[in-house]
Structure 1
Amino acid sequence: MNIKVLVATHKDYKMPEDEIYLPVFVGNAVHPDNNPGFQGDDDGENMSLKNKNYNELTAIYWAWKNLNADAVGLVHYRRYLIDKSKNGNSFSQILSASDFENLLTNYDVILPKKRNYYIESNYSHYIHAHHEEPLTLTKSIIMSDYPEYLEAYEKVMSSTSAHMFNMFVMKRAYFNQYSEWLFDILEKVEDKLDISKYDTYEARVYGFISELLLDVWLEVNQPKSIEVPFKFMEKQNWLIKGMGFMKRKFLR
C-alpha cells in the first residue's frame, strides 16, 4: 500500500527517517525563502496563500488535489502518532510504515486518542477560546447544505471530547470524501465571515473549526476507525496551558 503521512511544518525541524513521512512546508507561497528544502504546499492546485487562516489544512488540500497515494494522513512536526510499547526516545516511538500498513489492513481511518475537556463541552470550550460567530455560520451552512449532518454536529458540540489537531490517516476514498465535504463547508463560511478585525491568532479560524468538523464527518460516515496514542516531541508547560484555559473560560 502506498501510504503518505504529511508532516506539516513552518520551520526547519528534525523529521522522521521513515520514507512514509513527507514533510510539507505550509504557507510556502507566502514564505518560500524560509523553506529548508521540504515539499511546498504551493505546487499544482493549492491554497497555500491562505495558510494564515487555514493552518495545516493547506497541506491537506495540497495532498487532496495533487498527491497520488492509497492512504493519506497528517501529523505535525512536533506531534506524532506513536506506539508506546516501543523503547527509546520520542522519535523511536513514532509509527512506522509497517505499523500503518498493519493498521490499515483492518481499519479505514487511524485517529489520535481523543482529547477530553471533562468540565465543558466542545462548543463551550471553543467559544471560550475563540469567537462564536464562525461556529454559528458553520451550523447554518450545515443546516442548509448538509442537513443530514446536523444531528451529528449537535452531538459533537455537546460532547466533552474530540479528535483534535487535524491529525488522521485515511484510505484514499475516505480522504477524498472528507476533503470535499470539509473544504466546501469552510469555503462557504469564509465567503460569509468578516475576519478583518481578528487578531493573528483568531485569523486561523478555519483550521480551528475543522478540528471539530472531523468528528461530525466521522459520526455520519462511520468508517472503521482505530485510535492510537499521540505524543508531543517537546516538553509541554501544563501549568501555563491550564492558566490560559481558566483565563479564557472565566475572563473572556
Structure 2
Amino acid sequence: MNVLNIKILVAHRELRGVVKNSILCPIQTGCARATALLPDMLRDNEGENISKDNPRYCELSAHYWAWKNQDKLGNPHYIGLMHNRRHFMFDTELPIPSADATWLPNSHFYIFPPITDNYLKHLSEEKIAAYFPQYDCMVIKGYNEPEVPFGKRITKSFGLENPEIFDVFANVLREKYPSYSSELNEFWQGDKQYLCNMFVMNKELFEEYSSFLFGVLAEVDSRIDSSAFTGAKLRFLGYLGEYLLTIFVMKLQKNPSVKIIEMNGAYFEEKYNPADKKKLWRYALMSLLFWGEKRKIYRQKYALLKAKIKVLQNFKY
C-alpha cells in the first residue's frame, strides 16, 4: 500500500505551542484581519478563503481553507483540525496528569502544563499515522452533561444566549438537509456533544462533511444580522459548527462500514500562576457562604482549580 498523506491543521491566533512535522501543519487563522502575521505557518487568507469572516467562524476558517486548497497540502488522503492549545492524545502511553483536572467539568480534555520537548515524543508522525487507515473518522470523546438535555440548556450554551439563533439553525438544517432531521432531534433531546470542531477524516468523509458544514453555516449567516454581536455571541457560527460536527458524527455512527474512534484530548495551560491560590481561597469561601446550586458551582470550581494547580506544579512529561 502507498504511504498515506495525512495532514492535520493546527489553528493558531498566537505564536505559542507551535508543533510542526510532516503531518501537523500550523495555520494562522484570521489573517485577513490580523495586525501581524506569524512566521513559518500556513495562512487562512491565501487562495479561496473566508479569513475575513473568522470572527464569526473561529477556527473553521482554517477548515474552509483546507477544504478549498487541498492541492497546497499535497491532496491528502486524511485531513484534520486541532488547536494550538487542544490536541488529540494520539499516544496511549502519554499519562493523564489528573482525571480531576479537565478543561470542562467531566470532559475528556485533560489539563497539561505547557508543551515541552518530552511531550513532542508523544506526538510523532508514527504515533499519529498508526490510526490510519484503520479508522475513517477521529473525534474527541463526546462531552456529556447528564440529566441536562441539550434543549434545556440551549439558552446558556457556549455563547448562544439567544435561542432564536438555534431556531434559524434548525430551520436551515431541516430545509437544506432533511435527511439529518432525525439526528437534529436526537441532538436536541440528548446530552452529548463533540467539542472544538476537532476531527480527522478520510478524504471522502471530509468532502461530505465540509459541504454539509459550510452549506448550513453560510445560509444561517445570511439569515442572521450579526452586525451588533460582540464577544462570545459574535462567534456563533463556530459554536454551531460544533453542533454540526455532533450531528454529522451521529449519522456516521449508524453506518457500520464507517470506523470511528473517539479520543482523549490534551488542553495546555499557562505556567502556574500564584494568583490562582487567591482564586482558590475565594471559591472555598463562596462555597461556605452560598447554598443550593451556587454552592455546588463554587465547590466544582474549587475542585477543578485545585486539581489544575496540582498538575501545573507537579506534572512532568
Could you tell me the TM-score, scaled by structure 1's length?
0.88
Change (3 A) 1:93 1:226: farther
Aligned match of 1:38: 41
Count of aligned pairs between the two proteins: 245
Aligned match of 2:88: 81
Q: Residues 80 and 94 of structure 1 are in contact (CA less than 8 Å); yes or no, is this contact kept in structure 2?
A: no
Residue 124 (structure 1) shift: 3.1
The worse-fitting range, judged by mean Cα deviation, of 168-177 and 100-109 is 100-109
Q: Distance in 2 between matches of 1:71 and 1:150?
A: 28
Residue 100 (structure 1) shift: 2.8
Q: Deviations over 1:82-109 (max 9, x none)?
A: 1341369763475432233221221100
Q: Residues 45 and 66 of structure 1 are in contact (CA less than 8 Å); yes or no, is this contact kept in structure 2?
A: yes
The partner residue of 1:181 within 201, 212, 217 is 212
Q: Deviations over 1:190-246 (max 9, x none)?
A: 110111232222111000001011121122234320011101011698988x98x96
Q: Distance in 2 between matches of 1:123 and 1:94?
A: 38
Q: Distance in 2 between matches of 1:160 and 1:183?
A: 24
The worse-fitting range, judged by mean Cα deviation, of 93-102 and 139-148 is 93-102
RMSD after superposition: 2.7
Aligned match of 2:151: 123
Aligned match of 2:63: 60
Show structure 2 runs of 5+ residues with no match. 98-112, 284-292, 299-317
Aligned match of 1:226: 261
Q: Deviations over 1:112-157 (max 9, x none)?
A: 1111222412333332132212211111112212111001011012
Q: Residues 182 and 210 of structure 1 are in contact (CA less than 8 Å); yes or no, is this contact kept in structure 2?
A: yes
CA radius of gyration, larger in:
2
Note the 1:90-169 alignment, pairs <5 A. Answer: 91-92=119-120, 94-129=122-157, 130=160, 131-169=162-200
Could you tell me the TM-score, scaled by structure 2's length?
0.71
Show structure 1 runs of 5+ residues with no match. 248-252
Change (3 A) 1:118 1:93: farther
The worse-fitting range, judged by mean Cα deviation, of 11-20 and 203-212 is 11-20
Q: Distance in 2 between matches of 1:102 and 1:26?
A: 28
Give me the identity figure in percent.
28
Q: Deviations over 1:42-92 (max 9, x none)?
A: 111000000000000000000000022111101101010013413697634
